């Protein structure tokens, strides 16, 4: 049936044998094919010269890959294999990346870090690390996806020995998808509760409130210690009692929403209202993702842009409130002494890796749906500008409101400034309850929160599903393959999420947040991405490949960052985190038990160990000397679209007649 033709004496020959009963490959120009612009000096893709055809349609070609003699195995994509989807418009890709990368961290984490680390001064380390870490890796992930036309696992066919990087990113994004949606469930719950004449968290007259609840803290009446026993306000509390008093919003959050137990070892019962909210959000995510990028690309136009409309409305409202000016000045006032503290630089680096969504594999998946010639270099800078600009802009919105809240309560802004869920579900709702027409502003804020998180969530699910589906080639084609894969993914995550809607659910949520997709795991991932592309595949070689895609060579700064600067930044921050590791606590009071920390480290190591374990396994399984194993396992495995660019004179492989198993493209790697 199949014949293997004689090979020219080349150490990196590629043989394409195609056997078909109906239509052999047609060659133009008499069967000779020359490639595109010669840029093979550093081992990038080179022209594939077609030697000839036989009766059976066998095609023999050679492709020697530069001076390092690294060839590439080509993955044949024959009949029955679907061509990869592409974005309907390039703007779909931009909006999806904005939707994914611009999320809750931009609104609830960056402003707090900016205030905590010296106000406007924080922008110096932040912008510096954007250019030496954020943009280079952001560009690397998008361009790698676009070049390899594959999700987070198969994209590492560029150096198959390091495919563990793909598995690691899949583990991280799976954990992210699992716990991140809880924030959306809580936001959805608050949104529903906002549609009332009086906000339920604005008063102490509810069933979940305790005797310690107090609506207005009269701190100004208690500044003099001699008045310690004087009753303040109408609450019949003395100044001494104020230390233990609790705000109605904290009681609503802890007693009503979370019904929080005393610790991780007391899961308690499930909150059925939260389960319904969780189910509703997962259903929403499913129907956003199930049809692939064609539908996702349309939905993000709304989910990515509307939060900006709400942010502008909230800013206009915020700056007109008393105390807003003080809040904004507190946010941007520079404290130059902070630049001497290492923690400021670490916070800047960690925030960039979080907010740029680096290391999750989802950016790679989004890039894989681009046209091969899309200018991803320009896209990376546009997206970085939008991401960091949104973070800075959101700070004005948040601190104008916090300034008003501090003025209303007569306390310093440092006492009301929060980050993370504390800002979203305690500080902001409290501020909103002090405004006229409070339900309107509450509904607007939580609707924005929902949209900000929703597009990050469904692009994360899209990235995970893309990686999974890439593992099953076209011969496993099923009409509803994607829909079934998305359904299984959503269902599995939902089942794990049930542990987070119990009374001990907040402790489980924090475990996932602190360990599974923490700064350490993302930094470890980013470090290895740079090492593999720059040192194993070759930075110059990849720059050549990028030049083939976008038509010009990026500024050498990118190559220097991938090779030296970014890995050093990543490893430096990683080691700082490791040395300054502190056990996880809840509200700085509850300390997790030892077995809770063990679970957390298992979550972290489940992704981090994928890289060394996979590498060692492949090396031990291979045959030959170490040098031969290394050479074989770091040889790229090219896809069919690379063949098209190696041999543009061969007509599209997809034009071949659909056939069965005995009518397919098979590629052999020469052993000569």
Among 92, 636, 134, residue whose Cα is nearest residue 385: 134
What's 83's DSSP letter? P
Spell 627-647 as b/e; 16+ CB within 10 A means b. Answer: eebebbbbbbbbbbbbbbbbb
Ligand-binding annotation for 101, yes or no, is: yes
What is the three-state SS of 223-273? CCHHHCCCEECCCCEECCHHHHCECHHHHHHHHHHCCCCCCCCCCCCECHH
Q: Consult the annotation and say whether 34 binds a ligand.
A: no
Q: Cα 580 to the chain's mean position, in Å?
A: 25
Whether residue 221 is annotated as binding a ligand: the answer is no
3-state secondary structure of 638: strand
Rounded to the nearest 10°, the torsion over CA 365, 367, 368, 372 is 180
Q: Any known ligand binding at 37?
A: no
Is 387 labelled as part of a ligand binding site?
Answer: yes
Quick one: tokens of 408? 């209303």
**Is 534 marked within a binding site?**
no
For residue 575, the tally of other CB atoms under 10 A from its CB is 12
Q: Where are the beta strands (DSSP E) in 136-182?
A: none
Residue 314 tokens, joined? 């909230």
Determine if residue 456 is labeled as part of a ligand binding site. yes
Neighbouring residues of 83: CB distance < 8 A, sequence distance ≥ 6:
654
CA distance 325 to 594: 46
* Strand 231-232 with 73-74, pairing: unpaired
The helix (run of H) or strand (run of E) holding residue 620 is helix 610-621
Give the residue among 199, 218, 222, 203 at the shortest CA–CA distance from 408.
Answer: 218
State whether residue 52 is helix, strand or coil.
strand
Q: Residue 62: in which H helix or E strand, if any?
A: strand 59-62
Q: Where are the alpha helices (DSSP H) in 410-480?
A: 421-422, 428-433, 438-470
Residue 10 annotated as binding site? no
Cα dihedral: 357, 358, 360, 361 (round 10): 110
Q: Was 102 annotated as part of a binding site? A: yes
Structure tokens at 30: 């008499």
In angstroms, the CA 403 to CA 325 distance is 7
Residue 406 host element (H or E): helix 376-409
Give the Å distances, CA to CA, from 284 to 277, 302, 489, 622, 660.
11, 14, 14, 45, 39
Token representation of residue 663: 């009518």
Binding site: which residues? 99, 101-102, 106, 355, 387, 452, 455-456
Binding site for Na(+): which residues? 99, 101-102, 106, 355, 387, 452, 455-456
């Amino acid at each position: 049936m199949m014949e293997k033709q004689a090979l020219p004496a080349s150490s990196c020959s590629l043989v394409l044998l195609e056997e078909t009963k109906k239509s052999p490959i047609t060659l133009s120009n008499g069967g000779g094919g020359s490639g595109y612009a010669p840029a093979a000096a550093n081992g990038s893709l080179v022209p594939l010269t077609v030697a000839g055809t036989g009766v059976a349609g066998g095609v023999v070609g050679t492709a020697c890959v530069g001076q390092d003699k690294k060839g590439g195995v080509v993955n044949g994509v024959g009949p029955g294999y679907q061509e990869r989807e592409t974005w309907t418009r390039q703007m779909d890709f931009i909006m999806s990346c904005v939707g994914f990368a611009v999320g809750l961290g931009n609104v609830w984490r960056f402003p707090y870090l900016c205030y905590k680390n010296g106000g406007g001064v924080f922008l110096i380390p932040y912008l510096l690390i954007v250019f030496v870490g954020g943009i280079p890796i952001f560009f690397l992930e998008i361009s790698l996806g676009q070049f390899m036309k594959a999700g987070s696992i198969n994209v590492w066919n560029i150096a198959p020995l390091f495919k563990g990087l793909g598995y690691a990113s899949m583990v991280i994004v799976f954990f992210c998808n699992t716990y991140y949606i809880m924030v959306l469930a809580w936001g959805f719950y608050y949104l529903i509760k906002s549609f009332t004449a009086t906000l339920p968290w604005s008063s102490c007259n509810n069933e979940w409130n305790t005797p310690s609840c107090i609506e207005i803290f009269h701190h100004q009446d208690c500044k003099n210690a001699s008045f310690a026993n004087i009753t303040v306000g109408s609450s019949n509390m003395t100044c001494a009692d104020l230390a233990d008093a609790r705000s109605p919003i904290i009681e609503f959050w802890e007693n009503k929403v979370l019904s929080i137990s005393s610790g991780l070892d007391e899961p308690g019962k499930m909150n059925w209202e939260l389960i319904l909210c969780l189910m509703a959000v997962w259903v929403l995510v499913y129907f956003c993702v199930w049809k692939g990028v064609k539908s996702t690309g349309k939905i993000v136009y709304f989910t990515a842009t509307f939060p900006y409309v709400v942010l502008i409305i909230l800013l206009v409202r915020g700056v007109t409130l008393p105390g807003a000016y003080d809040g904004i000045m507190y946010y941007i006032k520079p404290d130059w002494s902070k630049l001497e503290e290492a923690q400021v630089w670490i916070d800047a680096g960690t925030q960039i890796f979080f907010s740029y969504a680096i290391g999750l594999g989802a950016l790679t998946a989004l890039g894989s749906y681009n046209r091969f010639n899309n200018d991803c270099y320009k896209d990376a800078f546009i997206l970085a500008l939008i991401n960091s600009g949104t973070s800075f802009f959101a700070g004005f919105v948040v601190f104008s409101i916090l300034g008003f809240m501090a003025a209303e309560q007569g306390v310093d802004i440092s006492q009301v400034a929060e980050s993370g869920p504390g800002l979203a579900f305690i500080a902001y709702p409290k501020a909103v309850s002090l405004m006229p027409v409070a339900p309107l502003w509450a509904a607007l804020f939580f609707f924005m929160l929902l949209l900000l998180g929703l597009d990050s969530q469904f692009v994360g699910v899209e990235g995970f599903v893309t990686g999974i589906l890439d593992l099953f080639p076209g011969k496993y084609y099923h009409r509803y393959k994607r829909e079934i894969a998305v359904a299984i993914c959503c269902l599995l995550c939902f089942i794990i999420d049930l542990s987070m809607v119990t009374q001990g659910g907040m402790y489980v949520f924090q475990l996932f947040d602190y360990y599974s997709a923490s700064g350490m795991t993302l930094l470890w991932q980013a470090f290895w991405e740079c090492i593999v592309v720059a040192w194993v595949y070759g930075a110059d070689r990849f720059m050549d490949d990028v030049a083939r895609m976008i038509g010009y060579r990026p500024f050498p700064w990118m190559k220097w960052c991938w090779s030296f600067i970014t890995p050093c930044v990543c490893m430096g921050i990683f080691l700082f985190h490791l040395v300054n590791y502190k056990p996880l606590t809840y509200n700085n009071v509850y300390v997790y038990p030892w077995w809770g920390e063990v679970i957390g480290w298992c979550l972290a190591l489940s992704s981090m160990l994928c890289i060394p374990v996979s590498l060692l396994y492949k090396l031990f399984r291979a045959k030959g000397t170490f040098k031969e194993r290394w050479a074989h396992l770091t040889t790229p495995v090219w896809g069919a679209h690379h063949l098209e660019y190696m041999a543009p004179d061969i007509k599209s492989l997809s034009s071949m007649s659909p056939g069965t198993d005995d009518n397919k493209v098979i590629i052999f790697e020469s052993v000569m």
